[in-house]
Amino acid sequence: MFSRHVTGLLFATMFPQIAVAMISLAPPVVGDQIIADLGLSPAVVGAYTGLVYIFVFVSNLITPQLVAAFGALRLSFGCIVLGGLTLAVFGNAALVVAIAATVFIGLSYGPLTPATSFALVTMARSSGFNLLVSIRQTSVPLGGMLAGLVVPYLNLLYGWRTALTIVGLGLALLGLGTAFLLKSVRDDRPPAGFGASKGIFAPFLFIVRRPRLFRLALASLVYGALQLIMSSFIVLYLVSQLKVDHVWAGIFLGVMQISGIFGRIFWGYLADRMHSPRLMMALIGFGMAVSALVTGALTEGIAPMLIGAAMVAFGATASGWNGVFLAEVMREVEPSQAGFATAGGLFFVYIGVIVGPPLFGLAVSAFDFRASFAGLAAVALMAGVMCLERRAPD
């Protein structure tokens, strides 16, 4: 379907996101073990995710300067090494040092999506662009799937600290070796014009001054919050509320991430066929609302097949929107502005992922999971409505 050149670009841009997504989601997968071992509150799971994405947010804003200094692909593979080493530190350090390691995990995540946008932007006017970007964005749920399948198994064998160390060091070495093997990474050069910026908030202002992009970005703020809430809390919800075995909870997380992978590809394909990415974004939001209600209605003792069905629906929607969103952002601007616009759009996504999990954790502590999932459904419905916009020039 794609040429050899495009396939190579997809691998070079997907692999770093797979690796760093796995790194960032590894601690929440064994969150109940960390909480029990250190005597912490369940709200810490949300606080971890919020702290990671505060620094994802920071490094996303300075990505133009970083790419101008190192090159997009070299920077991306360097992020694997940084993230992997800091995950290993997280697994072996005291609480204060683990918090510092969390900061560096966030810093390693932020540059990946905007840094690699220039590699695909030359195809922005092609008929299959939504599908192409959606395939690239399957890297995040792929990383989550691997975290859900690998980390619980290593935890059973060696404990959570050794499990995180193995994953972190393994990915750091794999990233370093792959970077040396790939000619595209060795020959990488900074793209022309990417570093041109009038300050770290210039990407944000770029979006705010364009009403069509601003409205879509506000909806993505909600979608991003739901995606990270889903990834961060679902294991805790299944184990503590539905009394699901920890290994099975990890498998359900993997099932959810797999459905997110196929959802991204399917929604991208449909958006290309419908010729209306914004309508597709709205329909995905409505699907998130229904999925959140269904997930919150699950009860202890319910058939595993029904739990799996709910996880498939929630994963396909809450983790399936990114490709359509990013393709639409890139299509709205000139090719030379694609990376800049992507950084600005992700500004809003990362606000959602910073504030969403901690707010959800507080809501669970104040009320319960059922009421909190109902609240998620309400905001997802409103965000979906925001995407229903008449196409008009700014």
Domains of the chain: 4-386 (1.20.1250.20)
Per-residue pLDDT tens, the chain, 394 aa: give them: 556 666 777 888 889 999 999 999 898 888 878 887 877 776 677 788 778 878 888 888 888 788 878 888 899 999 999 999 999 999 887 778 888 999 999 999 988 888 877 666 666 666 677 787 888 888 887 888 788 889 988 998 999 899 999 999 999 999 999 999 888 888 877 766 555 556 677 888 889 888 889 999 999 999 999 988 887 788 888 988 888 887 888 888 888 878 888 898 999 889 888 878 889 999 999 999 999 999 988 988 888 899 999 999 999 999 889 889 988 888 888 776 777 788 888 889 888 878 888 899 899 888 888 899 999 999 999 999 998 865 544 4
DSSP 122: G
Burial of residue 305, with CB atoms counted within 10 A of its CB: 0-12 exposed, 13-18 middle, 19 or more buried: exposed
The predicted structure's pLDDT at residue 331: 82
Main-chain phi, psi angles of 301, to 5 degrees: 90, -5
Q: What is the pLDDT of residue 18?
A: 93
Backbone CA torsion sign across 331, 335, 339, 345: negative
User: What was the pLDDT predicted at 294?
Assistant: 92
Q: Are 246 and 152 in contact (CB under 8 A)?
A: yes
8 Å CB contact between 131 and 326: no
pLDDT attached to residue 154: 92
Q: What's the angle, vertex CA 140, arms to CA 76 and CA 309, rounded to 5? A: 175
pLDDT of the residue at 125: 64
pLDDT of residue 357: 84
What pLDDT was estimated at residue 167?
Answer: 95
Rounded CA-CA distance 112/269 in Å is 23
Residue 94 and residue 91: Cα distance in Å, rounded? 9
